[in-house]
Amino acid sequence: MDKNKMSTPNMHIGCNVNECKYHGRDQDYCTLDKIMVVKHHDAKTVECTDCGSFEIGK
């Protein structure tokens, strides 16, 4: 993941988590080239998954 590239929204990764360091700010997209989706346990529902690339913003 290129975590240094944080200015151009990636139109392939929608995101509305404004608290994330990688949020597109004025647009609801992630600025990373790719993200890592992680699971907490057996992923049988959407609630069992999260964006593993999330980092708290400023």
CA proximity to 31, closest of 50, 48, 12: 12
Alpha-carbon distance of 42 to 30, in angstroms, equals 26
* Over residues 26-33, mean pLDDT: 96
Q: How confident is the model at residue 35 (pLDDT cuts 50, 70, 90)?
A: very high
Number of C-beta neighbours around residue 33 at 10 A: 13
**Band of the pLDDT at 51, cuts 50, 70, 90?**
very high
Q: Is the per-residue pLDDT at 43 higher than 90?
A: no
**Mean local confidence (pLDDT), 10-35:** 96
In angstroms, the CA 53 to CA 56 distance is: 10
Mean pLDDT, range 37-56, rounded to an integer: 92
Full-model pTM:
0.79
- For the chain, give every domain's residue range: 1-38
